[in-house]
Chain A
């Protein structure tokens, strides 16, 4: 009885599926595979980006993080906030306590005055998070703290996007419905091809590096991608090191317990 009921229920669902499949497949046969400019021109796989933090033993290159922080401060921070990062966190980049105090003091933080209880502007302290950024234009530039984890492709995507601005292919530019609208910029690494952010690293030398590295567009894009890898995952080095210990210890325990297992079962066929 239950089996007859089951077969009927199965046939009911299969009938529903066959019906859906017939209609969908007829439409599919008529229309072919779906196409769109995004499908044709969007580059899904970002350019290769080799960072010292990549790989199981990766560590941050502090000099590069400092350079990337410079790019963020001089260029990105005009529009993008970094709210999950605190100034005190910059010790991980190799800055001294006094340097961090000086960096924080340049920011203006609106906070409660401990004496009067009123909200007041004051210079930033190392314990403050990065000050909010007020953007006057249209749209909401995303906070960058987590950007390398919030995009498919991570830091390599950020690097590709920053260096990927290009002239629109004629096939798209010739048609009014696919032409990049005014105020947007063509970038094949961006999911819908047209991005509102103007090319931020449009010229070499936007930043002066104190370590003497030449600030080419490519170099700046690499450095800021490295910096944003750190902002998204500040505990990366600890994670890699702990992982090494964990895997080593667990392998050791596994080998020992495997030998114990062999010992226990020796003489017992199974």
Chain B
């Protein structure tokens, strides 16, 4: 579906006419990312990260499939086969560094994409389903990234598997059984590595499927925009191609430059040195930390140090960590402000930037050792995190007095809206 003024696909070449009758795939692409998709003309660069995230997924799938051809998912071979890729496989070092840094940059892009959504209220009606699917993609990405990190079977791999599956022991009664079921044993071992490899191969394709649903549901209301005012007339939109293919295209080039800087000049800067030590179940690393994209959630987990009544601290931490993401699912209903964009929401805007700062502080605490004063800092930051989503967002949305909205996207861009002026005169 699209706006009434969207161009229709009209094949001219007989072969394309023939194909369009039998399988209208070009028509689908034309309507999805071609000239047939009308997009608000006023999108800023924060709207580029969706396209970029799709590109990251493709990079991960392509590099990952080739890496899987050379990797051996066996505790005795995994570490050595990873080194075999780095040393003896043609361009193996580039594939592996491309895959590990690609994962990290994928998360960077996704975080910008998600926070774009928080700022501009992209989760609000009629776009709730896009948001729900997006949070689902993020959860799938977290699972995929974690399992991928375990595969080289280094020290951090092993102990990450131990710690993360250990979360589940926090649940009373079923916890221990659940952990053993997930690991396929009492501790991470060959069964764990094999199933993680299998799932790490499977999940990206599940993500791809959900991404298709995400884009499909996006095309029903169309893209939101920085004013949060819905598209009214033809003057408000431009066709995706060539306008946004050109705009996305040049930032993809910029992304590739940054990606190249990491892959070729600081490929290990986002990794942990301990993962170049083969896994050793008998020796716990001094300081177990996840990859940077999990630091804020790790800080939340560790902030609950004491039992509350009959609930153990560990269980509180695990529940809080899950809740800290699951609450995103409820954003469309927690935030009842009819105004989408924080540009016109003076109070929400302040709290949004407080949240950005808060998540950065949480990240800093997550990578720091679990000792004072970082614990105190993490606890304060976690309090704000929960206050923000569970309490501040619902309350602010009912008490806030938003600033006046522009009549239309065109008016926001041009300072006047010709048609609206005509209508007012008439």
Residues of A within 8 A of B (CB): 2-3, 6-7, 9-11, 13-21, 23-25, 28, 33-34, 56, 84, 89, 142, 145-146, 149-152, 191, 232, 234-235, 238-240, 242-244, 246-247, 250-251, 253-254, 257-258, 260-261, 263-265, 268-270
Which residues on the B side are within 8 Å of A152 (C-beta)? 273
Tell whether, in the assembled complex, residue A269 and residue B389 are in contact, meaning their CB atoms are under 8 Å apart: no
Contacts A152-B273, A243-B263, A247-B261; A28 near B372 (Cβ below 8 A): yes
Which residues on the B side are within 8 Å of A260 (C-beta)? 246, 249-250
Tell whether, in the assembled complex, residue A16 and residue B308 are in contact, meaning their CB atoms are under 8 Å apart: yes
Tell whether, in the assembled complex, residue A261 and residue B254 are in contact, meaning their CB atoms are under 8 Å apart: no
Interface stretch (choices B69-77, B79-87, B160-168, B211-219): B79-87
Tell whether, in the assembled complex, residue B390 and residue A240 are in contact, meaning their CB atoms are under 8 Å apart: no
Contact among A11, A34, A149, A234 with B372 in the assembled complex (CB-CB below 8 Å)? A34
Contact among A16, A18, A239 with B320 in the assembled complex (CB-CB below 8 Å)? A16
Contact among B268, B286, B376 with A21 in the assembled complex (CB-CB below 8 Å)? B376
**B23 at interface by CB-CB < 8 Å:** no
**B265 at interface by CB-CB < 8 Å:** yes
Within 8 A of A (CB), among B302-327: 303-306, 308, 311, 313, 316, 319-320, 323, 327
Contact among B306, B336, B372, B389 with A33 in the assembled complex (CB-CB below 8 Å)? B372
Residue of A whose beta carbon sits closest to that of B261? A247
Tell whether, in the assembled complex, residue A149 and residue B264 are in contact, meaning their CB atoms are under 8 Å apart: no
Distance between Cα atoms of A97 and B414 in the complex (Å): 72
**B277 at interface by CB-CB < 8 Å:** yes
Given contact pairs A10-B387, A146-B276, enumerate 11 new A-B contacts (beta carbons under 8 Å). A9-B390, A20-B379, A33-B372, A149-B276, A242-B94, A253-B253, A257-B250, A258-B250, A263-B246, A268-B41, A269-B41
Proximity bits, B212-256, A CB within 8 Å = 1, else 0: 000000000000000000000000001000110011011011101
Contact among A34, A56, A265 with B246 in the assembled complex (CB-CB below 8 Å)? A265
> What is the CB-to-nearest-CB distance from B124 to chain A, in angstroms, rounded to a whole number?
15
Contacts A191-B286, A269-B413; A21 near B379 (Cβ below 8 A): yes
Interface of chain B, main secondary structure: helix
What are 22 A-to-B residue pairs whose CB atoms are below 8 Å? A3-B394, A6-B330, A7-B395, A10-B389, A10-B391, A11-B391, A16-B320, A17-B379, A24-B305, A24-B376, A145-B83, A239-B264, A242-B264, A244-B264, A254-B253, A257-B249, A258-B250, A261-B247, A268-B243, A270-B41, A270-B42, A270-B43
**B371 at interface by CB-CB < 8 Å:** yes
Tell whether, in the assembled complex, residue B305 and residue A23 are in contact, meaning their CB atoms are under 8 Å apart: yes
Which residues on the B side are within 8 Å of A258 (C-beta)? 250, 253
**B382 at interface by CB-CB < 8 Å:** yes
Distance between Cα atoms of A197 and B398 in the complex (Å): 66
Tell whether, in the assembled complex, residue A247 and residue B257 are in contact, meaning their CB atoms are under 8 Å apart: yes
> What is the CB-to-nearest-CB distance from A36 to chain B, in angstroms, rounded to a whole number?
10
Which residues on the B side are within 8 Å of A17 (C-beta)? 303-304, 379, 382-383, 386
Interface of chain A, main secondary structure: helix
Tell whether, in the assembled complex, residue A7 and residue B390 are in contact, meaning their CB atoms are under 8 Å apart: yes
Residue of A whose beta carbon sits closest to that of B80? A84
Tell whether, in the assembled complex, residue A265 and residue B373 are in contact, meaning their CB atoms are under 8 Å apart: no
Distance between Cα atoms of A269 and B286 in the complex (Å): 56
Distance between Cα atoms of A243 and B257 in the complex (Å): 10
Tell whether, in the assembled complex, residue B254 and residue A149 are in contact, meaning their CB atoms are under 8 Å apart: no
Contacts A257-B249, A265-B247, A268-B243; A16 near B414 (Cβ below 8 A): no
Proximity bits, B327-339, A CB within 8 Å = 1, else 0: 1001001101000
Tell whether, in the assembled complex, residue A84 and residue B87 are in contact, meaning their CB atoms are under 8 Å apart: yes
> What is the CB-to-nearest-CB distance from A138 to chain B, in angstroms, rounded to a whole number?
15
Contact among A11, A21, A23 with B380 in the assembled complex (CB-CB below 8 Å)? A21
**B52 at interface by CB-CB < 8 Å:** no
Tell whether, in the assembled complex, residue B87 and residue A25 are in contact, meaning their CB atoms are under 8 Å apart: no
Tell whether, in the assembled complex, residue B263 and residue A265 are in contact, meaning their CB atoms are under 8 Å apart: no
Tell whether, in the assembled complex, residue B303 and residue A20 are in contact, meaning their CB atoms are under 8 Å apart: yes
Most chain B Cβ neighbours within 10 Å, of A15, A17, A239, A243: A17
Distance between Cα atoms of A257 and B86 in the complex (Å): 33
Tell whether, in the assembled complex, residue B386 and residue A13 are in contact, meaning their CB atoms are under 8 Å apart: yes
Distance between Cα atoms of A33 and B41 in the complex (Å): 55
Within 8 A of A (CB), among B373-426: 373, 375-376, 379-380, 382-383, 386-387, 389-391, 394-395, 413-414
**B123 at interface by CB-CB < 8 Å:** no
Contacts A254-B253, A257-B249; A149 near B80 (Cβ below 8 A): no
> What is the CB-to-nearest-CB distance from B323 to chain A, in angstroms, rounded to a whole number?
7
Most chain A Cβ neighbours within 10 Å, of B41, B250, B316: B250
Which residues on the A side are within 8 Å of B386 (C-beta)? 10, 13-14, 17
Residue of A whose beta carbon sits closest to that of B249? A257
Contact among A11, A16, A191, A251 with B257 in the assembled complex (CB-CB below 8 Å)? A251
Contacts A13-B320, A243-B264; A2 near B250 (Cβ below 8 A): no
Within 8 A of A (CB), among B278-315: 286, 303-306, 308, 311, 313
Distance between Cα atoms of A260 and B251 in the complex (Å): 12
Which residues on the A side are within 8 Å of B373 (C-beta)? 28, 33
Residue of B whose beta carbon sits closest to that of A269? B413
